[in-house]
Structure 1
Amino acid sequence: MPLRLIVPNMVTLLALCSGLTAVRMAFEGRWEFAVFAVLLAAVLDGIDGRVARLMKGTSKFGAELDSLADFVNFGVVPALMLYLWILKDAGSLGWITALIFAICAALRLARFNVALDDPDKPAWASRFFTGVPAPAGAITVLLPIYLEFLGLFPHWFADSAFVAAYTIGIAFLLISRLPTFSGKTLGTRVRRDYVLPLFVFAVLVVALTASYPFRMLSAISVLYLLAIPFSWRAHRKLVLADADLALDDDGDECDTDLDGIGDRDKDHGG
């Protein structure tokens, strides 16, 4: 088997190892390491597909492995972490909440895999996901843990029932039909004058995340949730533009048909 087919799958397996390690850290009460392990799994998940495309090592096996790893890393692991952290205090309600989040992650990934085979998608559809993607859902659902580390955990937010409601809300965003920015088209082409500022921005983000991880994760989670209405608006504009274009095309076809009928009538009258 060529090495170019093995390397992307190794990255996926490393992401899976990182996600499973987060569960161990949660059982041991080492929440900082558990959060970092989930974040590392998300980073590796974003890399494996690009590595496969760069090395021309994409395969059906790799796609299936990636989907299964995503379910564990971003469905099962966050659900168990939240349950061990605070949801267990809610009894059966807490466990049901964890089940709902994991199940919604599985359903979201299954829908994503089916949508890949849709031949009727417009070209701009790759700019959007349908619903919140699993990695983003895993990062945002852990927001209460970030706030506790920052000492910003409000008293009313510390209630296990409220955390359960927040978790269920994120779970339903996973399976919703809301369009969200995918970011897949970013980085394919960069204007020459933007290259150096992009380097500086990337270094700044990495440095801030390394120095203030929970502040950055909290800010990213909140900003991502606030960006959903803007992604819906951008998606709606593109849908309406396609609808207007289709109406114009239909109108042109009708005019052509009417012109043809008029010409036939003239010929018949002659």
Structure 2
Amino acid sequence: MTHQIDPETSDATSEDSVKRPRGIYLLPNLFTTGALFSGFYAVISGMNGHFTAAAVAIFVAMIFDGLDGRVARMTNTQSKFGAEYDSLSDMVSFGVAPALVSFTWVLQSLGKFGWVAAFIYCACAALRLARFNTQIGSLDKRYFMGLPSPAAAATIAGLIWFMTEKGIDPAPFAWLIALYVALIGLSMVSNVLYNSGKEINLKGKITFVKMIVIVLVVAFLATDPDLYLWLIFLAYTVSGPIQWLLRSRKRQAE
């Protein structure tokens, strides 16, 4: 005897067998949304000629980007959705935003060479993020391979913020800035190792004297944030190649 299958019952069974999403975690993704909004705001500010606001927005995106991962780990709310959302947010905030802001700031005066330099940075940021996602868990957590995209964005945003605040006309330095942007982009896809800082224990205790030193350093940075933040991230960008050269000389000497 042949049994007939009710189409409605069959469809209901197949639908029940599909796992429905249970939703997403609010808190970490809220910080990721803040980073995405800051990157978008940087692009809009750059288009309107407000380059100080654009540069500051990129730094704000860095703060949100640093918080979302830590909050997710502290609250045990990591998810694949959060990881993918964070990667897309990073592409906007640290890939597209610095490229477009630097282009509207000065690179557009170079014509096709200006947008090529901006595109090199943007494309390298995308490649950097794609490579990072495929290498999660396979590298030493103490190091990043290639310059991290937030640090690259801060190195560009810091220069824009500094020159805008100090009233320095970027036009005479357009070619140097184009080379600067392109090299920072290429450093993201290099094999140079950068310290990740993940070995620092933020939950640990420090002495009272060290706490006073931290307060003094923060107060010192606040006196001229555009200059000192740019120099800090520029030094971090240069630290990778310097350490690579030192390690190469050490191996040759051995």
**SS, match of residue 129 in structure 1:** strand
Change in Cα spacing, 1:189 to 1:109, as seen in structure 2 (3 Å) is: same
For residues 90 and 29 of structure 2, the distance between their equivalents in structure 1, rounded to whole angstroms, comes to: 13
The match for 1:110 among 91, 105, 130 is 130
For residues 57 and 222 of structure 2, the distance between their equivalents in structure 1, rounded to whole angstroms, comes to: 14
Check conservation: 2:128, 2:188, Cα contact below 8 A: yes
Q: Which residue of 2 aligns with 1:228?
A: 240
For residues 142 and 187 of structure 1, the distance between their equivalents in structure 2, rounded to whole angstroms, comes to: 28
Check conservation: 2:52, 2:165, Cα contact below 8 A: no
The match for 1:133 among 138, 148, 160 is 148
**SS, match of residue 131 in structure 2:** helix
Check conservation: 1:144, 1:153, Cα contact below 8 A: no
Q: Which residue of 1 aligns with 2:211?
A: 199
Does 2:91 align with 1:71? yes
The match for 1:183 among 180, 197, 213 is 197
Change in Cα spacing, 1:28 to 1:201, as seen in structure 2 (3 Å) is: farther
Greater Cα offset, 143-152 or 210-219: 143-152
Check conservation: 1:14, 1:44, Cα contact below 8 A: yes
For residues 176 and 81 of structure 1, the distance between their equivalents in structure 2, rounded to whole angstroms, comes to: 23
Match of 2:212, as an amino acid? V
For residues 152 and 223 of structure 1, the distance between their equivalents in structure 2, rounded to whole angstroms, comes to: 23
For residues 16 and 235 of structure 1, the distance between their equivalents in structure 2, rounded to whole angstroms, comes to: 37
TM-score (norm 2): 0.81
- Structure 1 segment 46-85 matched on structure 2, within 5 A: 46-85=66-105
Q: Which residue of 2 aligns with 1:252?
A: none
Q: Any stretches of 5+ residues in structure 2 without a counterpart?
A: 1-21
- Structure 1 segment 86-101 matched on structure 2, within 5 A: 86-101=106-121
How many pairs are equivalent?
Answer: 231
Change in Cα spacing, 1:36 to 1:30, as seen in structure 2 (3 Å) is: same
Change in Cα spacing, 1:24 to 1:206, as seen in structure 2 (3 Å) is: farther
Cα shift at 1:236 = 7.0
Q: Any stretches of 5+ residues in structure 1 without a counterpart?
A: 241-270
Match of 2:159, as an amino acid? P
Q: Deviation per CA, 1:200-234, whole angstroms, max 9, x where unpaired? A: 34433443444422122222133213322454368
For residues 210 and 75 of structure 2, the distance between their equivalents in structure 1, rounded to whole angstroms, comes to: 24
Greater Cα offset, 216-225 or 169-178: 216-225
Check conservation: 2:152, 2:185, Cα contact below 8 A: yes
Change in Cα spacing, 1:27 to 1:205, as seen in structure 2 (3 Å) is: farther
Check conservation: 1:179, 1:235, Cα contact below 8 A: no
The match for 1:217 among 220, 224, 229 is 229
- Structure 1 segment 5-84 matched on structure 2, within 5 A: 5-84=25-104
Change in Cα spacing, 1:198 to 1:19, as seen in structure 2 (3 Å) is: farther
Cα shift at 1:148 = 1.4
Check conservation: 2:95, 2:121, Cα contact below 8 A: yes
Q: Deviation per CA, 1:117-168, whole angstroms, max 9, x where unpaired? A: 53xx4xxx1100000000000011234324413548598x833222111111
**RMSD, matched Cα:** 2.7
For residues 205 and 71 of structure 1, the distance between their equivalents in structure 2, rounded to whole angstroms, comes to: 31
Higher Cα Rg: structure 1 or 2?
Answer: 1
Change in Cα spacing, 1:38 to 1:197, as seen in structure 2 (3 Å) is: farther
Identity of aligned residues (%): 36
For residues 72 and 23 of structure 2, the distance between their equivalents in structure 1, rounded to whole angstroms, comes to: 12
Change in Cα spacing, 1:202 to 1:58, as seen in structure 2 (3 Å) is: farther
- Could you say which structure has the greater relative contact order, defined with CA pairs below 8 angstroms and 6 or more residues apart? 2
Cα shift at 1:195 = 4.0
